[in-house]
Chains A and B, each alone.
Chain A
Amino acid sequence: MTSSPSETETTVHPLQEFADAVAGAVGGEAKIAFDTVKVRVAPEQWVSTLTTARDELGLVFFSFLSAVDWSAEVEVGDPPGDEVEERFELLAAVGDLGAGRRVIFTTDLAKDSPVIPSVVDVFPGANWHEREAHEMFGIEFVGHPNLANLYLPDSFMGNPLRKSYPLLSREVKPWPGNVDVEPMPGGDEETTEGPSEENPEA
């Protein structure tokens, strides 16, 4: 059920061959972690990568397109820690309709000018996903037929899923559930144990 990164170092991950084949076909760099294959490509290859995935690799099912805002300074939540490469990581998940193989293609976009060609012509389903990524992250999709707001009102200012965008309700009043859980005797090592005796007639 789980596959740890340490396993992948010693034994070959069952998805390794598939990941290498995909990375080779699109000219990207594959990474497998927690049963998820990610292939990173350059932004210039974005459209050609998804076209190759659809036409040559049989990855015809469009699952989703979204982004992650990697940012050292955050207005909400916890910062990512360590040294983080400031960027938008654009994600596009596609899969096949047979063995259940799936890949998340990623590419890095610069923080100050996140611009990328639209893939609506490759996967028409990307239309709404790109509109969402546009309003939520401020990513510009060149060639998109209608890059209007999807969820947010037209007059909305800002890009809410950027890490620099504060959660306004949290600014007004601190979240009451944010109180630190009192450490148990023995600290974080304390474990809970579920019931172990069986219930004969459940």
Chain B
Amino acid sequence: MVLDQDLVRHLSESSVSVELETEDMTLNIGPQHPSTHGVLRLVARVDGERAFDVQPVIGYMHRGYEKLAEVRSYPQITTLVNRIDWVSGYANEVPFIVAAEKLLEIEVPERAQYIRLILTEMARISSHLVFMASYPLELGAPTPLFFALRERERVLDLLEGVTGGRFHPNFNRIGGVKPAYGSGSSTRKVIQDLPAGFLAETRDAMDKVTVAVDEINSLVAGNEIILARTKGVGVLPPEVAASYGVSGPNLRASGVGFDLRKVEDYLPYHLFDFEVPVGENGDCWDRWHVRLLEIRQSVRIIQQAIDGIPSGPLQAKVPKVIKVPKGETYVRAENPKGEMGYYLVSNGAQGPYRLKIRSASFSNISILPWILEGVLIPDIIAIMGSLDFVLGDVDR
């Protein structure tokens, strides 16, 4: 038999140029996965080692706070809002209370504003320390967790000493912060302020946090495996971040020096000297590093606030039954996770007519389908962890 030479040549060429056809597979991650910080489910189409068309499925923790807020009074709502991002519960209360105060046109006493500011920054430190603990763990490095959680407990103990709650402080009141035992009868009025020694202990704790942050940094920054897994991974350009509403440290890691503490007046941040750390490349490493630097800046703010805290009342004069006048306002704050805002519509009643809760993590993880397109499967965990979200803040 004579072989057709053309056919032979064709067959041999095709056998070397043929692409390896792999079968697509659907990979389901979560909703119960330790790296999802709650109950997030990802559905990805996997081609070889890469993920495509990643679709986050959320709503497993939806609690309907926006509807609930319509049937509750303003003091009752603070107990709801500090459950949104429970890692920094205190920080969620402040913009909501400030929105109500804005409509009421109440001037909050300076001492109360300073206390709010100190506790907000402590919430930021404790939130970032959770990230310092969990992120290396997700990358396979468990050691930093022990350093970070030890320091976080130090900060939470102080928060608990003031507010009575580690996670859900419920410490803000319209017009100030939680007053004495009796705002009732004037004869039984007990003067209650910050616990004795709080400021000195906080100063001491801040020194220890600074040392611990350096320790964590030395554990992580010199680790070649962590660097290899985070540098250049999950790069987020600033324009894309802005168009998705990604805010906070995730936006600043992409090189945008935008911090609501510098431009909004919900707390007197203009009185303090602090820097806004930014990243260069917008990759996972920068998102880690920006948060590390932010802890140092928060320590600076707290130290200045302790030095400058004025004396005076904790509460402005407010009516017993608070009815917020008609009006609409949007107050946003720089929370540990990013822009947290409340669009408050009041119709003059004891509760809001409508409360839109703009939470940071919701917009921050809406970027996932974009940022996870075509990445290696192990990088899904590295990128997701670097965005530092909490599902309570996503689902509200």
A100 with B193, Cβ < 8 A, contacts A2-B105, A199-B311 known: no
A69 to chain B, nearest CB (A): 7
Interface membership of B345, Cβ < 8 A: yes
Q: In the assembly, what is the distance between CA of A198 and CA of B193, in Å?
A: 8
A26-37 contact mask (Cβ, 8 Å, vs B): 1 or 0: 000000011110
| A184 nearest CB neighbor, chain B only | B320
- Min Cβ gap B307→A in Å is 13
Inter-chain contacts of B321 with A (CB < 8 A): 181, 183, 188
A196 an interface residue at 8 Å Cβ cutoff?
Answer: yes
Complex Cα spacing A76 to B264, Å = 33
> Is B191 part of the binding interface, using a Cβ–Cβ cutoff of 8 Å?
yes
Q: Is B30 an interface residue, CB under 8 A from the partner?
A: no
What is the total number of residues of chain B having a CB less than 8 Å from a CB of chain A? 93
Expressed in whole angstroms, the Cα–Cα distance for A63 and B72 within the complex equals 26
Query: Total A-B pairs in contact (CB under 8 Å)?
Result: 205
Interchain CA distance A150-B358 in the complex, whole Å = 16
Q: Do A61 and B260 have beta carbons less than 8 Å apart? A: no
Choose one: A91, A99, A190; the contact of B319 (CB below 8 Å): A190
Q: Do the beta carbons of A202 and B194 come within 8 Å of each other?
A: yes
Instruction: Kindly list chain A residues whose C-beta atoms are within 8 Å of the C-beta of B108.
Output: 1
Chain A minimum-CB-distance residue to B111: A198
Alpha-carbon gap, A175 to B76, bound state (A): 12
A142 near B: Cβ within 8 Å? no
Main secondary structure of the interface of A (DSSP, over half): loop
Contact with A along B247-280 (1 / 0, CB 8 A): 1000100001010101111000000000000000
B360 CB to closest chain A CB, in angstroms?
10
**Quick check: A62 and B329 within 8 Å, CB to CB?**
no
Mark interface residues in A65-76 (1 if CB within 8 Å of B CB, else 0): 010110000001
Closest chain A residue, CB of each to CB of B356 = A66
- Interface flags for A115-130 (1: CB within 8 Å of B; 0: not) read 0000000011101100
Instruction: Give the contacting residue for B343; candidates A1, A93, A100, A184; CB below 8 A.
Output: A93
Query: B: which residues have CB within 8 A of A?
Result: 58-59, 62, 64, 66-68, 70-73, 76, 101-103, 105-109, 175-176, 179-180, 183-184, 186, 189-199, 238-239, 242-247, 251, 256, 258, 260, 262-265, 309, 311-321, 323, 326-330, 332, 339, 341, 343, 345, 347-354, 356, 358, 362-363, 366-367, 370, 395
Q: Name A residues whose Cβ lies closer than 8 Å to a Cβ of B.
A: 1-2, 4, 33-36, 38, 54, 60-64, 66, 68-69, 76-81, 91, 93, 97-100, 102, 104, 123-125, 127-128, 136, 149-152, 160-161, 167, 170, 175, 177, 181, 183-184, 188-199, 201-202
